Structure 1
């Protein structure tokens, strides 16, 4: 009895129960990847990228969705401390929800805490290997850590899944993750 009362005090009434497991979104993402790879122009590719985000941003329940949305609103107004607290709360509640870790990683990245960003991105990708935004974020984080060959390899995977990523420009000749040396 004391434990459940303590959970309500610490987490609030919305977090008194366990978070349900996130649904399997593999088939949905695979279909979006196929459409993305077949897209004929930037507008169509961006629309599919946005659909991918809609999939990743669906939290397992209403309580988790509320915390995710609140954290993202705080992030959008540069309240990184508040956003980080919300994403900490989200991953504590929904430890199997990849987007909680991805959003927390983004806050770490924005704060130039690349080591912690990489830890969260690795967890996000372990939970949801098809999370293209986490793949791209991991590439950017590795790049900031000076781990260029790993960053290039990671970004190539992300761009293979979604060729319309803005980060793909980093793979161009002369760009930070572009080809090394002259091709024959």
Structure 2
């Protein structure tokens, strides 16, 4: 099914205006957004839908957790990785079922070069939200850094199957496949 610009704007508007008390990976609005994300061929529409998904994922349903999450992301963006790691770990202790806290901590661990710990947190993220294309992309990046091409390609492919509007991931996957084919020769 093709999605028109008006349909995408309508869907995103309705979903974001009708936020339930507990918006997160179990938010019922995500099913429709993921469907629209995979069905649209328009890159810009895909990015609007993707942002809507991230908005829901980043909304825990708790003002305290949302504040800690925003602060942790600020620290991460400023390069204060130890501070952000502490905050994301605190969020996980408060709400271990909140997938985005696991994903953000996995990101910080990746940035710190703690790949094994990052993979563990990605695993937990994907247990809670199997459609987490960001976590899958992160897993691909870890495998890529470790020269585990088959694992990187697999993780990137899963991410792109969920969110086909990730040109950087698609390009890196294409390069890895070419490198793999070149090694076979």
Corresponding residue number in structure 2 for 1:28: 29
Deviation of the 1:115 alpha carbon: 0.9
Q: Give the equivalent residue in structure 1 for 2:114.
A: 113
Which structure has the larger Rg over C-alpha atoms? 1
Which of 167, 170, 173 in structure 1 is aligned with 2:172? Answer: 170
Name the CA distance, whole Å, in 2 between partners of 1:177 and 1:48. 28
Where in structure 1 are there 5+ consecutive unaligned residues?
1-19
Question: 1:135, CA displacement in angstroms?
Answer: 1.4
Relative to structure 1, the CA distance from residue 24 to residue 156 in structure 2 (aligned partners, 3 Å threshold; closer, same or farther) is same
3-state SS of 1:160 partner: helix
Describe the SS at the equivalent of 1:164: coil
Aligned-pair CA distance for 1:68: 0.6
- The answer on whether the counterparts of 2:25 and 2:99 sit within 8 Å (CA) in structure 1 is no
RMSD: 2.1
Q: What TM-score results when the alignment is normalised by the length of structure 2?
A: 0.78
The CA distance in 2 between the partners of 1:43 and 1:22, in whole Å, is 24
Report the alpha carbon displacement of residue 33 of structure 1 after superposing the two structures with TM: 2.3
Q: What is the Cα deviation at residue 103 of structure 1?
A: 0.2
Kindly indicate whether the alpha-carbon contact (under 8 Å) linking 1:108 and 1:114 is maintained by their aligned counterparts in 2.
yes
Q: Give how far 1:146 is off.
A: 2.4
Secondary structure at 1:112's aligned position in 2?
A: coil
Q: Distance in 2 between matches of 1:145 and 1:180?
A: 15
Paired residues in the alignment total 160
Q: What does residue 134 of structure 2 align with? A: 133
Asked whether the 8 Å contact 1:23–1:60 carries over to 2, the reply is no
Q: CA deviation at 1:176?
A: 2.9
Q: TM-score, normalization: structure 1?
A: 0.79
Q: Distance in 1 between matches of 2:25 and 2:116?
A: 29
Shift of 1:22: 5.5
2:23 touches 2:60 (CA, 8 Å); kept in 1?
no
The Cα of 1:42 is off from its aligned counterpart by: 2.0
Q: Where does structure 2 lack aligned partners over 5 or more consecutive residues?
A: 1-21
